[in-house]
């Protein structure tokens, strides 16, 4: 597989500041992309060596079980990966979640022969589409370039 994503999803402390999201069943979710696990500066430009963190914050969720999934779309190649997480909320709780991924490097022989660490077709514009209970709530664009 040319592209490997790793996903870690965690419940975070609330208080992250992000762009405006779309409401779904009374809930509103926002999201932002970061290159540092400190989540200190939102960015949309990444190198192929970076880990891309997508931080999500949802408020107004109804109590019960919810599913959030992220579709990672390369703007020319289409959907590369889809990841999901099911979680439970209680009355009035906010939930923070994150997904992350990195581009896979070429193998040692291919890298040596091409003098490149990554497959160039994975460079370019990307979109992360985030769904909460099958309703799109956040869309974030970003770019990966060498």
Q: Are 71 and 128 in contact, with CB atoms under 8 Å apart?
A: yes
Question: Do the beta carbons of residue 55 and residue 99 sit within 8 Å?
Answer: no
Catalogue all structural domains in the chain, each as residue range(s) with its CATH number.
23-144 (2.60.40.10)
Q: 45-46 and 23-24: which strand pairing?
A: unpaired
pLDDT given at position 37: 87
Give pLDDT tens digits for 98-112: 998 877 665 556 555
Please enumerate in sequence order all residues whose Cβ is within 8 A of that of 5, keeping only pairs 6 or more positions apart, or say none: 72, 80, 81, 83, 101, 102
Write down the pTM of the prediction: 0.74
């Amino acid at each position: 597989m040319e592209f490997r994503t790793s996903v870690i999803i965690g419940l975070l402390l609330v208080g992250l500041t992000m762009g405006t999201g779309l409401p779904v069943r009374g809930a509103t979710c926002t999201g932002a992309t970061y290159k540092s696990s400190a989540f200190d500066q939102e960015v949309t430009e990444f190198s192929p060596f970076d880990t891309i963190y997508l931080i999500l914050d949802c408020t107004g969720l109804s109590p019960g079980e919810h599913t959030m999934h992220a579709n990672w779309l390369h703007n020319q190649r289409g959907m590369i990966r889809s990841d999901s997480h099911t979680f439970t909320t209680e009355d009035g709780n906010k939930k923070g979640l994150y997904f992350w991924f990195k581009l896979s490097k070429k193998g040692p022989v291919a890298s040596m022969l091409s003098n490149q660490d990554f497959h160039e077709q994975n460079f370019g514009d990307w979109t992360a589409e985030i769904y909460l209970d099958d309703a799109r709530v956040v869309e974030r664009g970003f770019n990966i370039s060498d």
